Each structure stands twice: as C-alpha cells, then as structure tokens.
Amino acid sequence: MKKLVLSLTLIAGLSTAVLAQTPVKFGVKAGVTFSNMTLSTMGVSASFDSKTSFYVGGTADIPVSTIFSVQPGLTLINKGTKVNGGDFDFDGGSVTANESGTINSMYIEVPVNLLANFTAGSGKVFFGAGPYYAFAVDAYAKSGGVKQDIEIGSGEDNFKRSDFGINFLGGYQLNRVNIHAGYGLGLSSVIPDQQDLDVKFKNKVFSVGLGFTF
C-alpha cells in the first residue's frame, strides 16, 4: 500500500510539474469557409457547388506530452452550398433557382482535436484531427433575392438540429499568431429519413483562417 501511495504521489507530482511548465493556452480564431453539400440516394452521390462564408471561435490547447495536445473549441460557423438551377423545396414551400441559389445554415460547433506539434524554424508546425458536434441555430434558402427560412427540428421537411463529423486541420504557429487550414467532413445527414427513400444530405467545409493565442 505504501509503495502504491508513493507511486501515485510521484505521478501526481510529475504531472503537476509538466502542467506547470506547459500550461493550458487559450486562443481565438476566425476565417473564411468554402462549404458545399453532398446528396446521396440509392448508391448514387452528387456534390453541389461551394459557397463562401465565415467562421469565428475560440480554443483551449491542453498539453498531454511534449508533442501532443488536446484542443477542444467552440465555433460559430456558416455551412451550406450553392446550387445552379433547380428548385429548393423545404417546409412545404418552393424557391425556384433559375439563376443561382444558396442553402445557408448556421451552427454552433464543438470540435475536440488531437494535435501533434513539431518545432520548425522560429515557430512550430501542427496538424491533427478529431470529432465535432454541431448544433444548428438558423437555416434558410435564398435565390434571386428571395429568402425562405428552413425550419429546424424533427419534421420531415425540416433540417435536423444536430450534425456531427470529423475535423482535419493543420497550420503554423509563430509566437502567438498562427495560420491554419481545416476540413470538416459531415458524417450525419442534415435531413430526416424520408419515407421509402434512403436520402442523405451531408455537410463538407474547407476553411482557412488566422488564430491568436493568449
């Protein structure tokens, strides 16, 4: 028992020493998104055009070794896609996109990424991946200056409230400033299951931005 107590005390002491040398770092980030969506049914998949929007958020970097860290975050991010021609049909209504139209959805996203960090010159290179969960707060379709809200909820013609997937990211940190790029691959369909049809509508987002660490 004494050996066990001494061992636990030693581990706790070493952990405290490591954390004291490499404390948790907080940061903010913002940038541009290039998002699109894929529609798949009966083994056939189609990808729509990308649209440009934005994201802004915060991060916490928690060291777990000299190389690896865990980075949870909280991000407000705009997703969606651009469609050339055709119709949007949501919530019992239809918006005709004879010119071009967009589907826009705003999410509060919570990513948790595992990062690897390597010294490079005066700064460091980092890259990693991890899951994310996103909570939809707004959605609408727009075409030819006409905007139509998309209901969010459990209805058959609505968008789902939740979205989840995998993040991939990489970048370069110099002092307190970093430049980074990321890719979010949605794994869940943003629309409910349709009767007699296996239809999946998923988000994909490529992003580029700047970050600042406090």
Q: Ranked by mean pLDDT, which of 18-22, 45-49, 84-88, 166-170 comes out on top?
A: 166-170
Give 195's Cβ-side CA count (13 Å radius). Answer: 3
Average pLDDT over residues 42-50: 85
107-129 pLDDT, tens per residue? 999 999 999 999 999 999 999 99
Q: For residue 98, what pLDDT is reported?
A: 54
Q: In angstroms, what CA-CA distances link 80 with 33, 66, 101, 155?
A: 10, 38, 11, 19
Alpha carbons 185 and 213: distance in angstroms, whole number: 26
Burial of residue 12 (CB within 10 Å: 0-12, 13-18, 19+) is exposed
Q: For residue 60, what pLDDT is reported?
A: 97
At residue 26 the predicted structure's pLDDT band, cuts being 50, 70 and 90, is: very high
Residue with the bigger pLDDT between 44 and 108: it is: 108
| Lookup: tokens for 178 | 């970093």
Q: In whole numbers, what is the pLDDT of the chain averaged over residues?
A: 86
Q: In angstroms, what CA-CA distances link 213 with 51, 65, 103, 172?
A: 29, 19, 33, 12
Q: For residue 1, what pLDDT is reported?
A: 53
Average pLDDT over residues 81-102: 61
pTM for the complete prediction? 0.82
Which range among 42-46, 50-54, 179-183 shows the weakest confidence by mean pLDDT?
42-46
Residue 20 has pLDDT above 90, yes or no: no
- How many degrees, rounded to 5, is the angle at CA 23 between CA 22 and CA 28? 115
Average pLDDT over residues 135-149: 91
Q: For residue 83, what pLDDT is reported?
A: 86
Which range among 36-40, 70-74, 115-119, 192-196 shows the weakest confidence by mean pLDDT?
192-196
Residue 176 has pLDDT above 90, yes or no: yes
Q: For residue 30, what pLDDT is reported?
A: 98
